[in-house]
Amino acid sequence: MRKKQVFTLIELLIVIAIIAI
């Protein structure tokens, strides 16, 4: 499975959200 890829995508989204805020 590609669970690591999904986790990376979520982490990237969180980082972008933090930067946006």
What is the pLDDT, as a whole number, of residue 3?
A: 72
Question: What distance in Å separates the CA atoms of residue 21 and residue 19, rounded to the nearest whole number?
Answer: 5
What is the pLDDT, as a whole number, of residue 1?
A: 56
Q: Which token pair is 1?
A: 């499975």
Q: How many CB atoms lie within 10 A of CB 7?
A: 10
Low-confidence ranges of the chain (pLDDT < 50): none
Which amino acid, one-letter code, is at 1? M
What is the pLDDT, as a whole number, of residue 19?
A: 97
